[in-house]
Structure 1
């Protein structure tokens, strides 16, 4: 059967056109950064034990596993003259995620906070997944690396601003950084409120300032949608893991260990730093909350580094190849995570986060650049959704294993989760050399 593709002749877009189509990621990353830097803090404040944190975080990968391939599949098969193909999903996700960001820090009980994480993460995924396919839709092959680099820039920039918000509200605005038992500090609450506004505003900027190319055969698109129906589409979404191109299979292993490491970091950096560096586990104490705010600064550092490095990676890859560039970046991240074990001065943790930032920039761009050249244009969203299985599956594995590993082998000391994550990132770097990327230099122009 003939396939449906978007318009095949794609003109090069200007800097500002690429800027506008990527700007929504600024808002999306507000949501993710606030989640990554503060959810463990919220859970601990509401009474969660350390070894239960991975299970509570399970919402994030499970919603990604369910939502992303479905959204990718249906965004490939959606078309509106006014709203286009991907933009309806951008808008719906933005509305729901922004509402969740307002509710999350006001959760009165741990189970409500855990449930709100499910809603928030699912909504973020509805907006985020089509953005990856958006680059393949809108840009010719020679501009795709630039498109993903622009996304990485906005991811880094949004995360820097969002991550430092509790610190800014505490130290510059004078808001309270502590609260009674089971209560979230005002500095965290207002950070989430700002995040909700930023998420909605940035995504809607892209929605209203970008026009999409229509399918070449709209009637065929409608016919295929009618033939498959809802359940046929769902089945095809999840069976896609068995039909992956060779390059995608190889990248899956790299992604698995990269995201296992990242999930370890997001869950355990706050308890690791507050206990290992600041020497406290009392979530109501000023010292704990000072350490938790500093984690926000550290996350801002790695995201800021990623925003800057994003534009340097194409140049490095042109010299040494994309696989070697990815290996170098992941090695920097792995060493950065492991180094936290040996540091007692909070200020020196900034150097650890520089390494993580280099890895983060590469994780957000190089695998997608390699993958996009191996995918058929008419199934870009579908395969990008399937590819995200290898972001969420390692997070599910981490949620199931990390608590057990810490409890069984490391006396529940959170710092060892970061060491495990660092080793996993180094392994991911080595596996990147296995990827068949025959166009690795040509596309980095």
Structure 2
């Protein structure tokens, strides 16, 4: 039987143990990459106008805003003798996500595609938040940066592979064109493969990873019984939101502008690049669908580079303690340059260089903020804090979806759709500068132990 492990004596884990506990993120990222890279293509195929695309995406961030704090709260209070604390949510999310991902490209009307996106994002969120908390649950503080970087490495593999799936299906002879208003078979096949990868990769983590039980299981169960009920849960989530630690607010500003930029990418990369660089606007034409496949290929580049950059970070963080704030600033400035350079690209092959810089930012966004947060908040509330931290991811996406993108890029840069990439670059530059306001040593310095935090934990 697994013995309770206190937060102060957690054993260091090997690379492969950390790999196993994070492997399910491969499937989660297959879901997110297919959703992020190709839902706008599906919306356009089903008749959506370019300016309407952001509002059609609003289902995704709204779902995350509601689901993640609730899942975080519930997973903090869960203990199953076989599945543990976080893994029950992995399993539920895996089943629902794989079903939703498989059926999303079979939408025959725009409202069906929007509904499919809503269900898909809610389902993925059920699994995703506990994966963040699991790294903090299992690893000592000295391995937090390393753990989140390994997770990012797996995410990079998933982003690259999933983004290239429709292109690969086309190379294998699957048609990438269809009648007007019909999703091409290459996209349908890609989503089907993604659904399989999503389910089995999460199942792999469930089967290969054990969790530490609460340090005092009897007290844990007693406290859970005394605080049951929807009203208490709502009150607890609300209380933690209004009293969140200062470091969470500081990191939240960085996250706000980071995710605003990437929501622009997911919403507008396909229409902006197919129109500006490939001069293709007819969604039923071979020219447009070939261009859209290539955009997916370039999106895969940022996933591939994020994987390679995460490998470098994994080596560095396994050997030395780093200044997380400085590393994150560097990554975000690289992404700002990458987005801005898309505007001046003439030869589409050069987009690989632009998206390579975006990939460095993506690797940093998926690792450094979570490493900083997990080292600066109490461990026993890690799930709910990770869920609440997601607010700083979804709120900028909601603002972007209800008009923030359309108004801002047109006001600052002009009507051309490619100007959305300039806005994304500006947003990442602001995020980079906002790092200067992060003041917690526990967040900034890898391996720093805050004595007051230890007492709370």
Common fold: TM-score over 0.5: yes
> How far apart, CA to CA, are the structure 2 residues paired with 1:224 and 1:327?
41
Q: CA deviation at 1:219?
A: 2.5
CA distance in 2, matches of 1:442, 1:97: 34
Compute the displacement of 1:402 (Å): 1.5
Q: CA deviation at 1:415?
A: 1.0
CA distance 1:102–1:321, change in 2 (3 Å): same
Please give the alpha-carbon distance, in whole angstroms, between the structure 1 residues aligned to 2:420 and 2:446. 38
Q: 1:188 to 1:14 in 2, by over 3 A?
A: same
Q: Identify the residue that residue 181 of structure 1 maps to in structure 2.
A: 180
Residue 263 (1) aligns with residue 252 (2): no
* Residue 435 (1) aligns with residue 438 (2): yes
- Per the alignment, residue 422 of structure 2 pairs with 419
1:314 Cα offset (Å):
6.2
1:132 Cα shift? 0.4
Structure 1 distance, partners of 2:430, 2:412, is: 21
Distance, in Å, in 2 between the alignment partners of 1:249 and 1:90 is 28
Aligned partner (choices 384, 397, 400) of residue 398 of structure 1: 400
**Is the contact made by 1:6 and 1:377 (CA closer than 8 Å) also made in structure 2?**
no
Match among 366, 370, 378 for residue 372 of structure 2:
370
Residues 98-131 of structure 1, C-alpha deviations (whole Å, 9 max, x = no match): 0001110000100000011000001000000000
After superposition, residues 127-146 of structure 1 pair within 5 angstroms as: 127-146=127-146
Contact 2:409 2:423 (C-alpha < 8 Å) held by counterparts: no
1:33 aligns with 2:33: yes
Could you tell me which of 328, 331, 342 is aligned with 1:329?
Answer: 331
Instruction: Find the aligned partners of 2:225 and 2:40 in 1 and give their Cα distance.
Output: 44
SS at match of 2:48: coil
**Contact 2:257–2:428 under 8 Å retained in 1:** yes
**TM-score, structure 1 as length reference:** 0.95
Which residue in 1 is equivalent to 2:58? Answer: 58
- The answer (yes or no) to whether the contact 1:69–1:385 under 8 Å persists in 2 is yes
Deviation at 1:320, TM superposition (A): 7.2
> Where does residue 190 of structure 1 map in the other structure?
189
1:357 has 2:359 as partner: yes
User: Could you tell me how far 1:441 is from its partner in structure 2?
Assistant: 3.8
- Say whether the 8 Å CA contact 1:238–1:386 is kept in structure 2: no
Once the 2 structures are TM-superposed, how far is the Cα of residue 321 of structure 1 from its aligned partner? 2.3
**SS of aligned partner of 1:84:** coil
Q: In 1, Cα distance between the equivalents of 2:334 and 2:13?
A: 33
**Residue equivalent to 1:21:** 21
Give yes or no for contact 1:68–1:385 (8 Å, CA) kept in 2.
yes
Equivalence for 2:210: 211
1:347 and 1:363 map into 2 onto residues whose CA distance is: 25
Unaligned runs of 5+ in 2: 449-457
Deviates most, 33-42 or 244-253: 244-253
The 1:23–1:183 alpha-carbon spacing in structure 2 relative to 1, beyond 3 Å, is same
CA deviations 1:252-290 (Å, max 9, x no partner) are 100000000010111000000100001121001111111
Output the CA distance in 1 between the equivalents of 2:420 and 2:223. 47
* Counterparts of 1:225 and 1:412, CA distance in 2: 54
Q: Note if contact 1:51-1:406 (Cα within 8 Å) is conserved in structure 2.
A: no
Stretch deviating more after TM superposition (223-232 or 62-71): 223-232
**Contact residue 54 and residue 400 of structure 2 kept, 8 A:** yes
Counterpart secondary structure, 2:311: coil
Shift of 1:182: 0.6
Superposition pairs of residues 55-134 of structure 1, within 5 angstroms: 55-134=55-134
Q: Is the 8 A contact 1:130 1:381 kept in 2?
A: yes
Q: Distance in 2 between matches of 1:98 and 1:442?
A: 36
Q: Deviations over 1:215-266 (max 9, x none)?
A: 1122222232223222211232244221111211110100000000010111
Residue-by-residue CA offset, 1:345-403 (whole Å, 9 max, x unaligned): 11011110011000001001111111111111100111011111000011111112113
Aligned residues: 439
Range 207-216 or range 411-420, more displaced: 411-420
Aligned counterparts, 1:332-347, within 5 A: 332-347=334-349
User: What is the distance in 2 between the residues matched to 1:43 and 1:239?
Assistant: 39
8 Å contact kept, 1:326–1:362: yes
How far apart are the structure 2 equivalents of 1:165 and 1:178?
A: 15
Equivalent in the alignment of 1:292: 292
Q: 1:245 to 1:406 in 2, by over 3 A?
A: closer
Report if aligned partners of 1:69, 1:238 keep a CA contact under 8 Å in 2. no
Q: Indicate conservation of the 8 Å contact 1:65/1:392, yes or no.
A: yes
The alignment's C-alpha RMSD in Å is 1.7
Task: Check the 8 A contact 2:321/2:447 in 1, yes or no.
Answer: no
Cα distance change of structure 1 residues 341 and 417 upon mapping to structure 2, 3 Å threshold: same
